[in-house]
Structure 1
Amino acid sequence: MTQFFEPLAGGVILGLSALLLLIASGRIAGISGILGNLLTIQPGNGWRWMFVLGLILGPIILSTTGFSLPAIEGSWAMMIAGGLLVGFGSAYGSGCTSGHGICGIGRLSPRSITSVMVFMITAAITVFIVRHVMGVA
């Protein structure tokens, strides 16, 4: 039952937190935008720090209460390369999967819907190449 409940609870929490941020401040809960502006000096930047702190502490707190965290498999080189590619894609696509996928689609943004389709097609091609061409499990 937890295999069904945990992802559902995570999705509900993400959706509600994005909605709450939008209602409370008019801001989009896109992680790349939040992180990209985290170190800029501007008034009222404390919410960004709290958001990032929640991203870090949330899984830590949940893991101490019996929820399981997904295992990350792969070499450091693959994770670094993946992180750099995601960073490049976020900059090139003017946002990340959280901003476009959770918030943009929820607002029926055509740009976000197109971006998510490109993300998903790229992900499918990447998985195919890594698993079937490169032979990495």
Structure 2
Amino acid sequence: MATSLLHGLIGGVLIGCAAILMMFSIGRIAGISGIASHALFSRPRLSQAWRWAFIIGLLISPLIVVSLGLPGNVAFSSEVVLGDPLVPWPVMAIAGLCIGLGTGWSHGCTSGHGVCGLARLSPRSLVATMTFVTTAMSTVGLTHSLRV
């Protein structure tokens, strides 16, 4: 238990450091949904190269952790590195679509509002983050109560 808490603490510190580095280096908020949507749906131009670098970094980071043999287990078993999904792929696809719609409606995500916005004491980010957390808790409670 203490090890997983330490991993969470280290991960949180790394996320915070990455957000600070991004703000100081290019003056941008590390809001992943905004970065991804602009990379995918805006007209391609050289000034967007940093968005793709950010996305590629998000995708290869777990591979680096695994290749170095570092503790990065997101499974419920210590014998595997990543583990099998807990729900079928169609359920994950629907969940991803709902997350995408929610981040669009709230004009941000947990990284933009929860990490960067709260650090800037933004009231809008506080409301958005409380909504994210409440919705997530309700969804988990509902889905766990519906499991047979």
Same fold (TM over 0.5): yes
How far apart, in 2, do the equivalents of 1:99 and 1:57 lie? 21
Q: CA deviation at 1:13?
A: 0.8
State the Cα distance separating 1:127 from its structure 2 match: 1.1
* Secondary structure at 1:37 match in 2: helix
Partner of 1:28: 29
Superposed displacement of residue 89, structure 1: 0.1
Deviates more, 1:9-18 or 1:69-78: 69-78
Checking the alignment, whether the CA contact within 8 Å between 1:32 and 1:90 is kept in structure 2 is yes
Contact preservation (8 Å) 2:62, 2:72: no
For residue 147 of structure 2, what is the aligned residue in structure 1?
135
Work out which of the residue numbers 106, 120, 139 in structure 2 matches 1:107: 120
Are 1:90 and 2:93 counterparts?
Answer: no
8 Å CA contact 2:31, 2:113 repeated in 1? yes
Name the counterpart of 1:14: 15
Kept in 2, the 8 Å contact 1:59–1:69? The answer is: no
TM normalised by structure 1 equals 0.91
Distance, in Å, in 2 between the alignment partners of 1:10 and 1:128 is 25
Unaligned runs of at least 5 residues, structure 2: 76-84
2:135 corresponds, among 110, 122, 126, to: 122
Shift of 1:86: 0.1
Give SS of 1:44's match.
helix
Q: List, as ranges, runs of 4+ consecutive aligned residues in structure 1 with deviation greater than 3 Å.
A: none
Q: Offset of 1:50 from its aligned partner? A: 1.1
- Between the aligned partners of 1:15 and 1:102, the Cα distance in structure 2 is 7
Residue 66 of structure 2 is matched in structure 1 by 63
Q: Is residue 52 from structure 1 mapped to residue 55 from structure 2 by the alignment?
A: yes
Aligned residues: 135
TM-score calculated relative to the size of structure 2 = 0.85
CA displacement 1:32-67 (0-9 Å, x = unmatched): 110011143234211111111110111100012222
SS at match of 1:29: coil
Q: Identity of aligned pairs, percent?
A: 41
Distance 1:106 1:118 in 2: 17
Distance 2:59 2:138 in 1: 30
